[in-house]
Amino acid sequence: MILPPRQPVRLRADWLVPVASPPVPDGAVLIGADGRIAAVGPAASVPLPPGVATLDFGSAALMPGLVNAHTHLELTGLAGRVVETDFSRWIRGVRELKAGLDADWFAQAARRGVADAFAAGITTVLDTGDSGAVLPALVELGGAGVVYQEVFGPDPSQCAGSIAALEERLDQLAPIATEQVRLGVSPHAPYTVSGPLYRETAALARRRGLPWAVHLAESEAETALVTTHRGPFAEAWAGRGIPPLERHDDSGPEARRSPVAWLDAHGVLGPATLCIHVVRADDADLALLAARGAAVAHCPVSNLRHGHGSARPAAMLAAGIRVGLGTDSVISVDRLDLFAEMRAARSLLGTTAAAVLALATRDGARVAGLPGRSGTLEPGVWADVVALDLPAGGDQPVEERIVAAGPAAVRATFASGRPVYRGSQAP
């Protein structure tokens, strides 16, 4: 599929919510032919060049496209297919389900996932998966973000083979990546990746200049595996003859104080690292993440759905950690609803609607390594714009009404200036 050429267009609505600056009543955005925002502000001050159409969304709000800091779009269509409540068995169920699917299935699922994201007001995703299907789907359909190619191998003896397979996949995907859709790597999690494989993957990512993501400190079973080599993951490893972590290398017992500290001992944490979930992290762990400059994808609905408990986003932000909001996969949460994630995060943070809206837009762009390029409505940034119907709210601030909304309220989505979703009520 060849994307249609961009056309300049002027958008107007009763509210403009730039995120980078206070809301503006009766606002407008002028999108240039290059797909970037040419002008933004009160409608009376935003020009209408000759020959440029205006789309008037009436009582809606114009806001930045949402940034989903953690997705698995290759799993689109599998909601409800794995219902196991024990997390370690749930993980195995997902792996077994994926093993029965072919490349064409994943390609179709990825395209549908990107379309579902657009319909939910999401224009940028930080996606992890091993099928290789999401990066070309994002490029084809005009989305943006980082696609992290997963690598697995809990037994140190698998390290060389896993790295070779990862390099082969990266060589296939690298020519497809663009300025707006970046390639990364993802050594999956401490219960699926050995110490040597973590070291080698981090070294590979540094050589290639790629960001990386890791599921980290998510569950009690993961912590038990890393700290004491007990629990369901440890039992599964023993059943497969996989040696415990202290025998993976010479990092020593100090490296096993927590999953966060163990990964740091293997050179995984740094400014290019996205740590997903981070539910079971104490103050020392958060201080370590902050010192390394790592970012966190906070997925409050998924965390609760799996019974992991709640992360500590307030402590993360207080420590200076970059935090974005993610939905996780539809197997975990049924649908891509960042509005629900904003409400869940707000209940943990005890903060304003404006602050959680920033987490899902501007701050998500910082987590993605895209500050100044998306996540706000400002001149010069890519024109990722959502027109959102506002719930009735009386005198409530417009951000309150946005956070109270949901995907069904999205009237139109523009990604890098192109219309990628229009609801039935869109002009």
Instruction: Convert the pLDDT of each residue in 239-296 to its tens digit.
Output: 999 998 877 775 555 545 799 999 999 999 999 999 999 999 999 999 999 999 999 9
**pLDDT at position 82:** 72
Query: How far is Cα 61 from Cα 163, in angstroms, rounded to an integer?
Result: 47
pLDDT at 118: 98
| The CATH number of domain 9-64+376-422 is 3.10.450.50 | no
Element (H, E) at 364: helix 362-367
Max distance between CA atoms of the chain, in angstroms, equals 71
Q: What is the pTM of this model?
A: 0.95
What pLDDT was estimated at residue 129?
97
What pLDDT score was predicted for residue 91? 83
Q: What is the pLDDT of residue 13?
A: 98
Which of 7, 5, 6, 26 shows the shortest CA–CA distance to 15? 26
Domain ranges for the chain: 9-64+376-422, 66-367
Gap between the Cα atoms of 348 and 311, Å rounded? 8
Segments of the chain with pLDDT less than 50: 255
Look up residue 25 and give its amino acid. P
DSSP 157: G
Nearest Cα to Cα of residue 68 among 265, 427, 342: 342
Here the tokens at position 380 are 């010069």
CATH class for domain 66-367?
alpha beta
Q: Which of 184, 202, 183 is nearest to 193 (CA)?
A: 202
- With CA atoms as reference, report the closest residue to 6 among 41, 32, 40, 39: 32
78: closest CA among 90, 86, 67, 87?
A: 90
CB 42 within 8 A of CB 21: no
Instruction: Judge contact between 375 and 330, C-beta under 8 A.
Output: no
